[in-house]
Amino acid sequence: MTCIVSRFLATLTVLLLWRVEEIAEACSCSPVHPQQAFCNADVVIRAKVVAGKEVDSGNDIYGNPIKRIQYDIKQIKMFKGPDRDIEAIFTAPSSAVCGVTLETNGKKEYLITGKTEADGSMHVTLCDFITPWETMSPTQKKSLSQRYEMGCECKITRCPSIPCTISTPEECLWTDWVMEKSISGRQANHYACIKRSDGSCAWYRGVAPPKKEFMDIEDP
């Protein structure tokens, strides 16, 4: 009986360690406002994905091949990035390591944000802002051309629970989660955090460019 119990405990320990390792390897991302995603990204494009395949991208320190997914894309518009078209994007092979899965039939348009690597290629993860173009609000689409960039010197602070406050005038308080239990609420869909002439930052809503009165006013 003692032997059976020992074997059971040993098996249970292995399973628990495997589960802990699995959890440790899972991808974890903090929610970001679309404007934050734009400002943090090296590249922001609107594109269709036309093909996808697994490719080798060198070896790890043990000599094992490193796999990545290469998505061939058709760029429609670049909002931020190098002075050339992006023809492919790269991501990790599974969501456990923040890999992104995209439709490759060439029909769906995406907004894709990501980073450039040393060789100039574009790399994306689950922590980047990647969403079907059709799901974006008119304000979000318009803001990609200028509005978001106007607030890249501002800091958007997410409010995870009440009470929450800002610590400097250069912050905008993002309250979608506490107010609507969603990170895709009114502020994410319809507002941009804009830096005003006095150096402070405030939420601005609207498709038209901010008026001078908004830029000069002391309080939002």
- Alpha helices by DSSP H, listed for 26-129, are 34-40
Binding residues for Zn(2+): 27
Whole-number Å distance between alpha carbons of 111 and 15 = 40
Whole-number Å distance between alpha carbons of 172 and 67 = 40
Closest-CA residue to 93 (of 25, 34, 141, 37): 25
Kindly tell me the sign of the dihedral angle through the C-alpha atoms of 198, 200, 201, 205: negative
Contact assessment for residue 141 and residue 35, using Cβ atoms and an 8 Å cutoff: no
Binding residues: 27
Contact assessment for residue 134 and residue 152, using Cβ atoms and an 8 Å cutoff: no
Q: Name residues whose C-beta falls within 8 Å of residue 20's C-beta, 6 or more positions apart in sequence.
A: none
